[in-house]
Structures are given as C-alpha cells and as structure tokens.
A and B are shown apart, each in its own frame.
Chain A
C-alpha cells in the first residue's frame, strides 16, 4: 500500500508543480491545492497505514493507527483552506486592479 501511495503522491506532486509553474493565477492556486493534498497523504503514509482501528478509545479495538499524523493533517487542512481562500481573493483583486492574470506581466516595477 505504501508503495502505491508513494507513486500517487509523486504524480499529484508533479501535476501540482506543473500547474504552479504556469503563468496563470488560477492555475497556480489549483496547483497549490493539489500539492497540499499530496503533502497530507505523505504525512499519512509516514505514520504507517491501516495499522489498527481508528484512534477512538472504545472496547472494539485493541490497537489504533498513529494519531499524531492525523492531528497534524487536521491542522494542515484548516491552514490550507485559509491560504487558498486568501490567494483566491488576492488574485481576484490583482486581476481587477491590473486587468491581467498573467504572472509575466505582474512583475512589479523597477524601484520596489
């Protein structure tokens, strides 16, 4: 399972990177979302997959999957959401202000 997951994570990362390297703002945001998904999966794999029951204390399971990656990912999901939302609004404002979403033209001026 880990091996397959590693490959999938790699593919997601590749696609995300390709999107980020493009010149369009929307694509960059899409790429960022994909990369964050891939990272979440990667953290998950680090803790070992399917090693026990869900980390809820009850009678039915004796062992649990590692809870720490899950706690980390939970935080990451929320932060990702915040960043994505902010980027979206930022790109919306940038487009309104400058009339373009081409990163080539959004270079700032000489004396910044």
Chain B
C-alpha cells in the first residue's frame, strides 16, 4: 500500500471514526469540522501531483487485493483521473464546509450523513483512479449505494424513500449491464486492466462482441449520468439534502458516466455506432432536459433538469469528439479533438457554476423555507451576496461573458458545427441536426437560467407566502463555498489557458492518446472575431431567449397538449407496478402455504437429482456380496417390522397406529441387538418407551384418524411419490454399501482404552473423542424441552382462554 492508496482510501478510514467523534464531540462542535479535514488533505496532496501529470507523466501503483483472481487495486493516475479527483476532493471540501451551516447539529443525524458522504467520496475517488475494471465496477455500485442512502437521508418522508429507490433501481440496473460489458471486454483481451485493454484495442474491434460490449457499457454510463430516457431518477433524487444534491447529483457522481465514456473512448471511439449512440443520446438529452427545465416551479427540480441537459451537452461532445480516433494523426484529428477538449472544459465549468447554483438554492430554501418560485420574489435587496452568486452562476450556465460557461459554450458550438461536417459514419446529412438542436436547446437553457435568476430575486417580496418570517442573508460560513466557486467561474474566464495547460490538456491526452496538444485549436479565446458563426449563434440565443422569456405565458400553454400519461415517469411506475404484480402471482402459484406442496417439491427433487445424477455419472452398479449372513430370525423380525409399519399406515384407529409404531421401534431394538450394537439397543428401548407414552398422552387431545375423504388423485400422487422415494433410497443404499472407496477409520477408535481409558468404544467416541458434539446434542434436547414447556405453559396475554 502506497501513500497514494492511503490518500484514496482515506475517506473510508475516516468514516470508521466519524460515529465515535460524533458521539463524543458533537455537542460542542459540529462534526463537519472534523470531516472537512479529509477532503482538504486529499485535495492538497493531489495539487502536488499536477506538475508531474501535466508534464505527461502518469502514476501507476499496484496493490494486491484478490491476486488469485487477477483483481488488484491498481491506481492509475493520469490527466483524466487527476482532473476528476481534483473536482471530487475540491468540491467535496466546499460541500462539507457548506453542510456545516446547512445541517443543524442539534437536529440532524450527522453521523449517518457524514459516514455516507465519506463513503461516497472514497468510492468516487477510487472509481476514477482505478485501473482494474472490476474494482471500478465495485466502487461504481458503491457510489450508487451511498447515493441511495443520502437521498433517503430524511427517510421519514415517503418521497425521499421512493426517490432513493428509483435512483437505486435505475443506476444499479445500468451498473449490472456495465459489468457484463466489462466482462466481455475482459474476455476478449484476457485482462482486467483498462490500460492493457486499450493496448490491445485491435482485438476488441475485430471481436464479434464489440457492439454488445459497447451497448452494455453505454447503458451503465447513460443510467449513471441520467441520460434520456434514464433521466427520470435525477429530479426525484432532489429529495436529498441540498449539499448532497450539489455534490453527488450535479458535480461528481452523475459525471461518473462521463468519466467512463471518456475512459473508454480510446477503445470504442472512432466507430460509427459509438459516434451516433453517444452523440445522439447526448443531443436528445440536452433538448429534453432544457425544455423540461423551463416548466419547473421547484428551484431544485429546475436545477435537476438543467443538470440533465448539461450532462447531455458534455455527452454529445464526447460522442462527436470520438470521431477524432477515426483519423490516426494530423489536422483532421485535432478538428474533432476540440469537441473532447470542450467536453472536459465544460465538465469542469459545470461543476463550478452548478455547484454554486445549488448552494444558492440551498440558501434560499434554508432562509425562506421554500423553493417554490411562485412564492418567492424580491430577495435581491435582502440577499445581495446570494444574488451576486446566482447571477454569476446562471449567466455562466446561459453562456454569457465574462464567465467560464461562455467559453465552453462557444467551444460546444464549434464542436457541433464540426459534427455537422462529419461524413465518415454513414447517414450523411443527418449530422446537420447536431448544431440545430444544440442551438434550440441553448435558447431554452437561456430561458431557464433567466427564470432561475430573476423569479426569486426580482419582483415583489411576499412575506405572507413564505413559511419563515424575518428572512435575511445567509450566515457568513454558508456563503463562503459558493463565493469561492463563483470566483472560480470568473477567474477561469480570464485565465482559461492556465487551466487548459495544467488540467485539461493532460486529460485530453488520456482520452485521445495520439493528439498533439500543442496545436493552436486548443488555445481558448473569448473573442473569435465578427465573422465567427459561434458568436452569431450566441447572439441569437440571447435575442430569442429574451424574446421567449418575456412571452413565456403565451407559449407555455403548449405544454398542456402533452398528456401526462405518456410521461417517462408514468411508464416507470407502471412497469414497476406490473413487475411486482407478475412476480407476486408467479410466486403465489407455487408458494401455496400448504406444507404438503413444499414436501412434494423436496421429495421430487431428491428423487430426480439422485436418480438423475446416478444415471448421468453412469453409477448404477450393484454389488451383492454382503458381509453378514442371514438367519431365519432376522427374516422374521424384518417381516414383522414391515407388517407393523403397514399397520401404522392403513389403520384408522389412533391407538392401533401408535402401538404399531411402537412395535416398529421395539423391533429396531432387536435389530440393534443382532447387529452387535448393545448401546443403541438400550437407548432405543428407553426412548421408544418414552415416545410411545408421549404419543398416548397427546393422542387423547388430537382428532381421530382417517375420517375424511381423500380424493383419488391425491392418493395416487402420494403413492407414486412415496414409492419413488423408497426406490431411490433402496438403490442408494445398495450402491453405497457395495462400494467402499475409503478404508474405515474405526481402527483408530479401537485404541479407546489407551487414548481415553474406556472399554466401550461407542461411549468413548461420544463422551471423549467427539465430546463437543455430544454437548451440542444435549443443547438441542434442552432447547426442545424448553420449547415443549413454553408451548404448554405459557399463554400470550390477551389470547382467548383455550385451556383443555
């Protein structure tokens, strides 16, 4: 275990101690102050890795986990992993700081909250830095689990629980699909290491499993990153506390899908299917998310749909940029690599401005008690700082200067314009849709950004509609994290190439290994001149955006024509409901609650499996050479025994049945004598006597036998099954007694006198050699005795008096 492993696993280690810290110090100091050390420490340590990584170095450190299966916790830190790790730990620090003021230490179960949060942080850090696909998958699911726990953090609310369940079902479904895809890749390349898979990419491309593996991996990425039509879980996930929404559901976890795509681009990129699937789903998602966002009245739901839309934006860029891998090297490659570059850039920008916006919404919610934009208004004068951050965040998201969103939005347009010229993957001409849909979606993005910015802050304050009185600006500590993020938004606009040089370009190399980052297309400029199409597209967005924003009431009615029944949510609900119903009816068909049916299953399976395996292993061979000779007495005893057993079966009299069963028991005593087992004979004698007495005591209270009519079918089934079982047992006994594979170990116990000082070998085994077994056997007897006593003596209070 190296220091780097320690850094990555630190959140897990810290999570162990949080409950103790909470218990001991929480009354004096908010637990968050202890937790914040962890991401801060990780972030600072990762910062020191930047110089080496930006020089083109990579860090590879191996740690054995399950070496026999080839599963090692290998850390592979390259530009892409480092960029994600910095976002995770950086935003993590700010979110923890924010949560200290958001989550009241007196009311909330902070130990749960921070344990889940640290668990997520560790899983996410491990996910982006792991080179082994199985480790990646494990941590991938762990992020789903911790997301589930965090969404359901206020588990008393029904909405929280159902939202958590929905996110869990969808993301774990995708995760399992991804696992299958990853295993396919591992089968093709015979390795679990992503780097080695990339090295043997030719094998993968030629394999018939290429497309299935791709689709399965994409399912994982699409569900995790809430792409259309799997996006429905993200709005419901907003039931989580706002710090969680800011962290998991906008800045980090939902970007895991994007990470996976970027990581897998060297493997799948350059193929037509990847280009169309990733680019197509991405562009549909931008459109869907931005249009739905406009309709929302809950600020967090609006942000959720905007996140979906923005994730789609990055996704489509990754899809379009993958065309770069079609070209080996040279200018054509760089033209498309710009799209990947823009994706990474926007990914970073989105984490900053969306994190800030979530925190703003959290502040509004925290101070006014509501997130409903129909109730909010006029907060500008009360919360000037919050308004400033909201202004920076939403204008950046809308793609206006001087904020970082403007730069990446322009690059997004550039990428989409390049995409319209792609003619190498068939379907020529359709690619023109990319820039068109992108532009329309951007107009709607602009509109919802305006809604987000203007509705709560401008207009008239309506104190009577707010749940909380005396609304005021948030406390200082709560403002610090969004202010830091907001200033990043501005700083990145003025010094974009600094970020590009140290973070983005190394990450780009991880996605497209052959790219030459020195190319001038990777210089970020705010101004491209009046003749650039991107500029006019942005101006168009602002113009039409404003126009539609002010006429929103006129065209908003159009949404009413879209019936709610056709929504994805309804489809999901109906599917879940149907599946529950189907499986219940299927299970009810064989889980009847009748013990006879269960016994039938058991007996049938015993017979089928035993006989079946005997036949399939060709093991039916009898060996009739027996050791014991037969005397006439033996035959007599056995005949009487069978006769007694038959009497038990056929008689309709309870006493006769019990007595004949007793007869079988006493004949067992005689058999034990014949078979040279004096101890058994004695024990059987005592036990049989007691059992018979017990039967006789009880039968008085039980109803008579054989009074009811049984159907013929019932009897025949029973007969067939019981004869089958009997035959199976006979055959098994014959085969087993005829074939001895091992020398008996009884000779060892014949030294009982020397070893245990006993002359009775059976007794020596019971009380000496296997003394513990006997002790446990006596415990069983004791438990049964206690059970009998309880059943007879104890009566639960309130039950009817039914003494005999």
Contact = CB atoms under 8 A, between A and B. Distances in A.
A2 to B, nearest CB: 4
Given A44-B675, A54-B678, A10 B624 contact: no
Contacts of B736: 46
B69 interface: no
Nearest to A101: B703
B741 interface: no
A88 B695 contact: yes
Given A14-B726, A81-B690, A85-B788, A8 B624 contact: no
B699 interface: yes
Interface in B621-635: 624, 626-630, 634-635
Interface string B633-668: 011001001100110110000100110010011001
Contacts of B603: 17, 21
B534 to A, nearest CB: 63
Nearest to B638: A8
A95 B703 contact: yes
A49 to B, nearest CB: 4
Contact of B702 (A10, A13, A95): A95
B627 A49 contact: yes
Interface string A21-43: 11111111010011001101110
B595 A103 contact: yes
Contacts of B600: 21
B781 A12 contact: no
Interface of A: 1-28, 30, 33-34, 37-38, 40-42, 44-58, 64-68, 70-71, 73-75, 77-86, 88-93, 95-97, 101-104, 106-108
B708 interface: yes
Contacts of B705: 24, 26-27
A69 to B, nearest CB: 8
Interface string B770-804: 10011001001101110110011000000000101
Given A5-B638, A50-B675, A89-B792, 14 more contacts: A3-B626, A8-B641, A11-B645, A19-B649, A23-B710, A40-B668, A41-B671, A44-B672, A46-B737, A57-B752, A70-B677, A71-B766, A78-B777, A95-B701
Given A17-B725, A88-B698, A67 B759 contact: no
Contacts of B28: none
B746 A9 contact: no
A44 B654 CA distance: 30
A67 B746 contact: yes
B661 A14 contact: no
Q: Which 6 A-B pairs have the closest CB atoms?
A: A14-B726, A10-B730, A50-B628, A107-B593, A82-B784, A49-B628
B691 interface: yes
Contact of B642 (A11, A16, A42): A11
B691 A101 contact: no
Nearest to A12: B645
B162 interface: no
B648 A15 contact: yes
Contacts of B626: 1-3, 49
Contacts of A79: 777, 780-781
Interface string B682-719: 01100100110011001101110100101000000111
Nearest to B803: A96
A74 B774 CA distance: 10
Chain B interface mostly: helix
Interface residues of B, number: 98
B743 to A, nearest CB: 11
Nearest to B800: A97
B687 A42 contact: no
B702 A55 contact: no
A34 B645 contact: yes
Nearest to A51: B627
B523 interface: no
Nearest to B764: A67
B729 A74 contact: no
B428 interface: no
Contacts of B698: 88-89, 91-92
A66 B701 CA distance: 43
Nearest to A97: B802
Contacts of A96: 701, 802, 804
A55 B762 contact: yes
B761 interface: yes
Given A2-B627, A41-B671, A65-B676, A21 B721 contact: yes
Nearest to B799: A97
Contacts of A27: 657, 705
B383 interface: no
Contact of A67 (B658, B749, B785): B749
Given A1-B626, A2-B628, A67-B765, A57 B759 contact: yes
B616 interface: no
B628 A19 contact: no
A93 B791 contact: yes
Contacts of B781: 78-79, 81-82
A1 B627 contact: yes
B45 interface: no
A21 B599 contact: yes
Nearest to B649: A15
Given A1-B626, A12-B645, A89-B788, A37 B665 contact: yes
Contact of A10 (B718, B733, B780): B733
B469 interface: no
A82 B780 contact: yes
Contacts of B761: 55-57, 64, 67
